[in-house]
Structure 1
Amino acid sequence: MTISFGWGPVEARALAPAAACVVVVDVLSFTTSVGVAVEGGAAVHPYRWRDATAAAFAREKDAVLAVGRREATEAHPWSLSPAALRTAPVPDRLVLPSPNGSTISAEAASGGATVVAASLRNPTAVARWLADRGYGSADRPLAVIASGERWPDGSLRPALEDLLGAGAVLSALARTGTGGAPSPEASAAATLWAATEDPVAALHGCDSGRELYEYGFPQDVAVAAEIDSSTTVPVLVDGAFQEAAP
């Protein structure tokens, strides 16, 4: 199989060594936030931990640190909210802490794979970029990783929004006709996407979407649900996600 699909940091660690490219999907909200920020012109440094070390890392990179959604202020509007990032002034560099998306990005990059951030906003653009570069072939195997969420004990909680996002990329890649051989898991994810009649409703109604409504951030779900609205392909280069080279 030349195109694989997996869940979370542990499976990313298992699949990344054999992959030439890893696509990270964390729809609510890491990769959607990455896409919004990169669209605006920022370089986004992923960081694994949301703790005091994140501030030190941001200072080291001369970057703005994105804080938790509820920690944002008028003076510091940069947060993990993609809706907030869309309206905030665009910094040159932004540090985006995430225990899931950032960790997966780091795991993949440590093995030398090209790392791409995908969401429901850019699956077609990502698929075309992958196909144009031969990813998903025998010479350049591809892994697509759905980040998922965490249960209170820290274990993986599979998340529908990330399965849909991964499926959207895999379905779009199949439509390019590049002839890659998907694993059964990858094929199943693509099939689920194709069979979902109303993905926007699914995103708003899934567990993670309802949680964001309860927390007072429905606009983040709305931004994440802008399906195929973006042609930006964020690629991790020298430790920061940037717009892919033409």
Structure 2
Amino acid sequence: MTSPYAQDGFRVGFDWGPVGAAVVAGDIVAVVDVLSFTTTVTVAADLGIDVYPYRWRDETAVAYAEQYGATLAVGRSAAGPGQVSLSPATIRSVTGITRLVLPSPNGSTISKQLSDSGTTVIAVSLRNRQAAADWVKEQGAGRRVVAIASGERWKDGSLRPAVEDLWGAGGFLSALRTDNLSPEARAAVAAYDTVAGDLPRQLHECAGGRELTQYGYPEDVAIAAEVDQSRSVPVLRDGTMFVST
């Protein structure tokens, strides 16, 4: 019996976090982590940098970066001159990097999880939501498309639905311009449509935007609000790295 949570019977679906990604399967899955994993991936892709997603920033991440001859991103607060972190602003300020290991407990973790299932994984943010939708449509009809909003985590480890990821997923799904959406996908599109004309301000005012601004990273929020400014579509290849198509 098909799970009632799988949104079966619809060509386009939507859900939240690692658990939702495991339940709502798709031939192509857009992982959305606006503040900041997928935004940072699109900024890197614009600059020709391949991104290797990794869950934790620990000794295993160091070894992983060495294995691929890649730079390991440091923590946001630890980034000094010439270093990169999950902050997209740091990607724009450095030169000479062609491969980057980017740890992230949300978007990166979900991307790795999905790649192990054999699905095609793309990184989607507000910056490339139209380009990603155009790429999906070029792949041909008949493929099931799912958007997964990564969300954040409360201190107890439970999922905190992040409205910026709902908007990013909804913006991508809206750009697909299809009526064959699950009710969950329709709700995401409706959420995006509500704020589409006021996104930069709304992104700064939402909890995630206020958090980054409070910690001293308002530029990261501004970059995330660059709606449709990127034509890069990062696709996860062989479960290891995002490369731009």
Is the TM value for this pair above 0.5? yes
* C-alpha displacement of 1:77: 1.4
* Structure 1 unmatched ranges of 5 or more: none
State the alpha-carbon separation in 2 of the partners of residues 160 and 13 from structure 1. 21
Shift of 1:51: 2.0
State the shift of 1:15 in Å: 1.8
| 1:216–1:128 Cα change, 3 Å | same
For 1:1-246, what aligned pairs fall within 5 Å after superposition? 1-16=10-25, 19-74=26-81, 76-134=82-140, 137=141, 139-174=142-177, 179=178, 181-196=180-195, 197-238=197-238, 239-244=240-245
**Partner letter of residue 234 of structure 1?**
P
1: distance between equivalents of 2:109 and 2:234? 16
Structure 2 residue identity aligned to 1:83: A
Give the % identical residues: 54
Equivalents in 1 of 2:96, 2:73: separation in Å?
12
Query: Is the CA contact (8 Å cut-off) linking 1:21 and 1:140 kept in structure 2?
Result: yes
1:95-133 CA deviation, whole Å, 9 max, x = no partner? Answer: 000011011101111111110001010111000000111
Count of aligned pairs? 234
Report if aligned partners of 1:37, 1:90 keep a CA contact under 8 Å in 2.
no
| TM superposition score normalised by structure 1 | 0.92
Residue 54 of structure 1 deviates from its aligned partner by: 1.1
Superposition CA RMSD, Å: 1.1
TM-superposed CA distance for 1:153, in Å, is: 0.8
Q: Which residue of 1 aligns with 2:5?
A: none
TM-score scaled by length of structure 2:
0.93
Structure 2 regions of 5+ residues with no counterpart? 1-9
> Secondary structure of the equivalent of 1:181?
coil
- Tell me how far apart the structure 1 counterparts of residues 205 and 135 of structure 2 sit (CA, whole Å): 30
Deviation by residue 1:29-81 (Cα, 9 ceiling, x = unmatched): 0000000111101110000112221111111111000111111112x411110
Q: What is the Cα deviation at residue 14 of structure 1?
A: 1.5
The alpha-carbon distance between structure 1 residues 81 and 147, as it changes in their structure 2 partners (threshold 3 A), is same
Superposed CA deviations along residues 131-158 of structure 1, whole A, max 9, x for unmatched, are 1113xx5x31111000000000111000
Instruction: Give 1:180 shift.
Output: 5.8
Matched residue SS, 2:62: helix
Return the alpha-carbon distance in structure 1 between the equivalents of residues 179 and 98 of structure 2.
37
CA spacing shift, 1:30–1:128, aligned 2, 3 Å: same
3-state secondary structure, aligned to 2:171: helix
Give me the whole-angstrom Cα distance separating, in 1, the residues matched to 2:213 and 2:30.
27
